[in-house]
């Protein structure tokens, strides 16, 4: 039977560790602070931000949610970020994506002080990550590494294949795996004979954003599967393709009219040695790693 890598339990462990760090800093008169900028009214983003604020309250981190209207301009956002960059009580700044189309996302992410860039998106932090120097790492890729290490999955010397080359997940995940001494291959939509490469993977990381894209035929028996995908499906035909015969999922789908699925087809888990479920896997680590990054930023900014 393949082993399920429990992201919920691992996230809880990380949060407990962060809480202890916060207590130590508080005893020294330092309270880590996180500012989240949420533009407009996007339902999914509002849920994410609410969860982040709740995690801060749980762990003793100061949080502030700033909500400019959807009509905000790039210039006005730059002025806001300049203020946040200069505030000593704010250690981390997170600009919730996506932003309205008329706002220049790239300019704004580049405007965040790298020492407060708890999303790890700034080019300076990306460069530090590439060079193997101390940096604030993107939360989801960092969570991938934590799941593997805390589950005692060997990384050094293993062939890790990352499917997806985004700046947010694919590229940094590949770099973090490389720093853990894995041999890394990055695949993408233009890769020829993708299955021939994924079948070589001891560790297969799927971050391509397509429901059930990685099938059982594309997986090496006994491989560790890390599913970063988070796709909500609501069409019956798509549900049947992925979950036919799954009574638990059928009940969820019947009640809500939709269900979550990753980038790996559930049938592929049956041939794996270990896998991260969706939900309950890597997604649970993202907010935990954001909290860890906020505390790390607070310490790094003060030379601790």
12 vs 7: CA distance, rounded Å: 8
Burial of 212 (0-12, 13-18, 19+ CB in 10 A): buried
Angle ∠(295,299,304) on CA atoms, nearest 5: 150
| Active-site annotation holder among 91, 96, 117, 171 | 96
Peptide bond into 237 cis (omega under 30): no
Please provide the DSSP assignment of 31-74 as one string. Answer: --EEEEE--S--HHHHHHHHHHHHHHHHHT-EEEEE---TT--H
| Active-site annotation holder among 6, 52, 113, 227 | 52
157 vs 143: CA distance, rounded Å: 20
**Dmax over Cα atoms in the chain, in whole Å?**
57
Q: Is 119 a catalytic residue?
A: yes
* Adjacent-strand bridge partners of 225: 204, 275
Q: Is 52 a catalytic residue?
A: yes
Helix (H) / strand (E) element for 225: namely strand 224-227
51 vs 153: CA distance, rounded Å: 29
Q: For 57-71, b where at least 16 C-beta lie within 10 A, e where not — what string?
A: eebbbbbbbeebeee
141 vs 12: CA distance, rounded Å: 17
Contact 252, 302 (CB under 8 A): no
| Active-site annotation holder among 119, 202, 227, 263 | 119
Which are the catalytic amino acids? 52, 96, 119
């Amino acid at each position: 039977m393949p082993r399920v890598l429990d992201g919920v339990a691992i996230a809880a462990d990380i949060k407990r560790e962060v809480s202890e760090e916060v207590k130590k800093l508080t005893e020294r008169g330092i309270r880590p602070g996180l500012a989240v900028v949420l533009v407009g009214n996007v339902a999914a983003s509002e849920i994410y931000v609410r969860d982040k604020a709740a995690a801060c309250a749980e762990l003793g981190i100061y949080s502030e949610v700033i909500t400019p209207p959807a009509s905000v301009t790039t210039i006005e956002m730059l002025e806001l970020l300049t203020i946040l960059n200069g505030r000593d009580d704010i250690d981390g700044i997170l600009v919730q994506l996506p932003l309205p189309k008329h706002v220049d996302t790239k300019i704004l992410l580049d405007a965040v002080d790298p020492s407060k860039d708890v999303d790890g998106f700034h080019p300076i932090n990306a460069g530090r990550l590439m060079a193997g120097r101390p940096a604030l790492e993107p939360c989801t890729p960092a969570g991938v590494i934590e799941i593997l290490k805390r589950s005692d999955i060997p990384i050094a010397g293993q062939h890790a294949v990352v499917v997806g080359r985004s700046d947010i997940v694919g590229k940094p995940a590949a770099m973090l795996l490389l720093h853990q001494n894995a041999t890394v291959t990055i695949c993408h939509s233009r890769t020829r004979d993708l299955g021939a490469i994924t079948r070589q993977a001891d560790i297969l990381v799927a971050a391509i954003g397509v429901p059930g894209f990685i099938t059982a035929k594309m997986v090496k028996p006994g491989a560790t599967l890390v599913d970063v995908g988070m796709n909500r499906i609501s069409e019956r035909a798509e549900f049947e393709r992925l979950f036919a015969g799954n009574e638990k999922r059928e009940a969820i789908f019947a009640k809500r009219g939709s269900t979550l699925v990753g980038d790996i087809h559930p049938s592929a888990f049956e041939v794996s040695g270990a896998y991260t479920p969706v939900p309950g896997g890597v997604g649970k680590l993202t907010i935990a790693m954001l909290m860890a990054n906020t505390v790390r930023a607070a310490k790094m900014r003060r030379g601790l």
